[in-house]
Structure formats: structure tokens, C-alpha cells
Amino acid sequence: MTQALIELANLSFSWPGHPVLLDIPSFRLEPGETLFLKGPSGSGKTTLLGLLGGVQKANSGTIRLLGQELSELGSGARDRFRVDHTGYIFQQFNLLPFLSVRENVELPCHFSKLRASRAQQRHGSVDKAAQTLLAHLGLKDPNLLERRADSLSIGQQQRVAAARALIGQPELVIADEPTSALDADAREAFIQLLFAECRDAGASLLFVSHDQSLAPLFDRNLSLSELNRAATPAEV
Ligand SMILES: Nc1ncnc2c1ncn2[C@@H]1O[C@H](COP(=O)(O)OP(=O)(O)OP(=O)(O)O)[C@@H](O)[C@H]1O
Ligand SMILES: [Mg+2]
């Protein structure tokens, strides 16, 4: 079997003072695979993404990303590993409002030499990489680059967040409900752009959404309840 991009075994996680939220015997994500993950609100999807990104630590079990066991890394090394290899589109976009669009997109390259050098190799410079990604995502206007992120519409901010996740070709792109603010047409267009960029970079895409209509576009569909043996709360 080839090396998985993500390989998780016997993972258990609870928030302090709360019962076990995630109890996952095994899970794999293959290189280049696109996976649609769904589950009721509060069932632990964002928490799982945080564990995969090394933001939260598991109580027990193993999480390997690119063959690296995350718990073997100290917190500084784990942060570096995450920014080198993972691009996140957060449920709330988390753009830095006071930075320009360009500065937001280029941010991962300030924290990761690897991503800066990949962006440079592919596009000539980090700046050019940011511009090209934004243009591919439908944000071509050069004036827009220097605008503060918080002066953009929600749909535009979403695409800036996607460009930031994709810059420097991380092997894993994690998207946590990135389309909830878009109408149906814009949603599918956004996903097709995300797919095209991930395909180009050879990245795997782990995409969380409640929107079942998007599921057929992905290589694989999964409910968190199929993975998780812990009791999940009812949908609210
Ligand atoms: N920082 C935290 N501290 C304590 N409990 C938390 C924390 N973050 C989330 N939780 C709890 O963990 C459970 C799962 O939350 P999570 O955000 O992972 O759900 P989700 O599946 O992403 O939901 P949604 O679809 O609404 O985004 C919830 O009961 C939530 O209250
Ligand atoms: Mg969530």
C-alpha cells in the first residue's frame, strides 16, 4: 500500500471536562484524493480538522501526516509542519482584516520557507503566485490586491481565504464549510476552482459541509458517524 497522506489510528479526543467526542479506530486520506465529510452540527467535524492540523492534541492514538506522527513533534515543530504542509480554509474565514488582500494570501509564505520556495519556483515570485491564484479564483482586478481584507464582500473574502490556503502548494487542503455564504451557482463554481487548483498542485482536499448537493463532485463521501464510535449529539 502506498503511503497515505493522512493516516489515523485509534484516535480518542475529549474537550477538558467533557465526555469523549471522537473515538475513531481508523481513517486514511490518499494523496490527491478529494473527500466530502459531513455530520450534524456539534458532532466534532471542526474538532477533527483541528486534530489533523495539529492545533489540538489527541488524548490517545496516532495521527500521521505524510508519514510524520504529529504527537512526536513539539508544539513549535508541529506548527511549522502544519504551515509547511497544510492549507486551511476556516469555517469563519479568519482573514486578518487590517491586512491587504495580497498580504493575507502571502501570509503562509512568511511562516513557511518551503511554501515560499514552492510559490517562487512555480510562479517566479510569491507576489506573482498570489496574483495568479487570485486571478484563477475570479479576483483579477489589480486594485483589489491592496484593499483591506475587510472591505471585500463575503464571497470575495472566501476566495481570498482559498488563495491563502493554496499558495505554496501544501499537500493537504482542509476546507471547513467554505461555501455556506454562497448561493448555489457561486458554490459550485467555487468548488470547481478549488478542485482545479488542488489537482494542479497534486493536493488532497478534505472538505466539510452540510450541503449534500455538493457530495457527488468528490472522489469519496463520508459521514463522521461512519468513522466515529463515540455517541454523537443530535443535530441542532
Ligand atoms: N474550544 C472548545 N472547548 C470546549 N468544547 C468545544 C470547543 N470547541 C468545540 N467544542 C465542543 O465540541 C463539540 C463539537 O464541536 P465542533 O465545532 O467540532 O462541531 P462541528 O461538527 O464542527 O459543528 P458545526 O457543523 O456546527 O460547525 C461541540 O459540542 C462543541 O460545543
Ligand atoms: Mg464546524
Bridge-based pairing of strands 68-69 and 220-223 is unpaired
- In Å, how far are 61, 109, 220 from 229, measured between CA atoms? 14, 38, 20
Which band of pLDDT confidence, cut at 50, 70 and 90, is reported for residue 1?
A: low
> How many C-alpha atoms does 105 have within 13 Å on its Cβ side?
32
Q: Say which residue the cell 506573482 belongs to.
A: 128
Which cell numbers in the block locate residue 152? 471585500
Placement of cell 493554496 in the chain: 166
- The answer to whether the beta carbons of residues 88 and 116 sit under 8 Å apart is no
Residues, beta carbon < 5 Å, ion ligand 2: 45-46
Query: Does the CB atom of residue 235 touch ligand 1 within 6 A?
Result: no
By 3-state DSSP, what share of the chain in percent is helix, strand and coil, each rounded to 5?
Answer: 45, 20, 35
Element (H, E) at 75: helix 75-85
Distance 42 CA to ligand 1 centre (A): 5
The predicted-structure confidence for 175-231, as pLDDT tens digits, reads as follows 998 887 777 777 888 888 899 989 988 999 999 998 888 899 999 999 999 999 997
Q: How far apart are CA 68 and CA 82, in angstroms?
A: 11
Instruction: Give the whole-number percent of the chain exceeding pLDDT 90.
Output: 69
In angstroms, what is the span from residue 90 Cα to ligand 2's centroid? Answer: 9
Dist. CA 32–CA 30, nearest whole Å: 6
Distance CA 226, CA 228 (A): 6
Q: What is the pLDDT of residue 29?
A: 97
Statement: the pTM of the whole predicted model exceeds 0.85: yes
CATH class of 32-60+73-227: alpha beta
**Cell numbers standing for residue 80:** 511549522
Q: What is the mean pLDDT of residues 20-37?
A: 97
Query: Which helix (H) or strand (E) segment is 225 a member of?
Result: helix 224-227
Cβ(123)–Cβ(201) below 8 Å: no
* pLDDT-above-70 percentage for the chain: 97
Give me the residue spans of the domains in the chain. Answer: 32-60+73-227
Contacts of 123 (CB under 8 A, 6+ apart): 129, 132
Q: In angstroms, what is the span from residue 56 Cα to ligand 1's centroid?
A: 12
Residue whose C-alpha is closest to residue 64's, from 9, 2, 12:
9
CA 106 to ligand 2 centroid distance, Å: 25
Closest residue CA from atom 4 of ligand 1: 15
Average pLDDT, integer, range 12-32: 96
Q: Is the CB of 31 under 6 A from ligand 1?
A: no
Interval 132-163: pLDDT, tens: 999 988 888 989 999 999 999 888 898 899 99
Instruction: Say whether 27 sits in a helix, a strand or coil.
Output: strand
